[in-house]
Amino acid sequence: MANMHFPFSSAPTRTIEEIQFGLFSQKESERLAVIDIEYPETMDEARLRPREKGPNDPHLGTIDRNFKCATCEEDQVECPGHFGVIKLAVPVYHHGFLKQVKKILETVCHNCGKIKAVEDEAFRSALRIRSRKARFDKIWELSKSKLICEPDPPEEENAAKQGLPVIRHGGCGNVQPQMRKAGIQLFAAFKPRKSEEDDEIPGGAQPEKKRFSAQDALNVFRNMHDETLEILGLNADYARPEWMILSALPVPPPPVRPSISVDGSGQGQRGEDDLTFKLGDIVRANQNVLRTEHDAPPNPFALR
């Protein structure tokens, strides 16, 4: 490093003391963004300048010697680039966290957010595991087969008064679904209640299966208390489960996905990076969802 020569920079230098890894929340993504991306086009109608509020908005940074960054007013050498954000019309699953999201949904009650596993000796043994990952896997194994959030029956109060050992759970009593993953979607299968009519059906009644949307998962995660997150080995400050659901998509700056001039003149048509094309596709899909929700008739049964 001593023999390398770098151009002068007015940016202050700092010594890195630590690196803390974590997930971006929706608020953090919106706070770090310098502009909202609302249009899929990269260039204006004249094909001379980047389109404002497009994937190559001038506020995101510059990779062209002819233009300066509209945020820091530096050239392509000094400007590090700035993030934008796409505010999604509806929450969506993050493909990288889908398996973990499914496991959490199999571990906690979908109504009250409490861990489904009964607080018996096996559960207390799992709590003594120091490794967060190993502790989560053990609690998940104890919880995934539970199809009801077990409440405390009245008999336990009498047993407690008599000094007998009592295993408490304090659940809400709601029936829990079995989670299934198909591609990039999750489905909830509810086991049908036993009835006399089921005996007449070959193979018995089939489970009721419905698509479990990202909004449904988000509602479940928001009911979880910080104490529950700590027990599961999650971090309430840097890795909350609701942050595994995308509500706002960070847009990396152009220096991360640089385009090239087709004719070499720096003007006219440019060849865009594959990531830029994909960001444009996301914006188009987001616009279609917004348009559909705006044009759809109001649902009187929708939860407010």
CATH architecture of 26-83+252-295: Irregular (4.10)
Res 301: pLDDT: 46
List per-block mean pLDDT (blocks of 10 residues) for the chain, which spans 304 residues. Answer: 67 89 94 95 82 93 88 90 96 96 96 91 94 96 92 63 59 90 93 61 70 96 95 94 96 90 62 91 95 72 44
Res 150: pLDDT: 86
Res 9: pLDDT: 73
Res 198: pLDDT: 54
Res 303: pLDDT: 41
Domain boundaries, the chain: 26-83+252-295, 93-246
d(CA 304, CA 300): 10
Res 304: pLDDT: 39
Res 155: pLDDT: 61
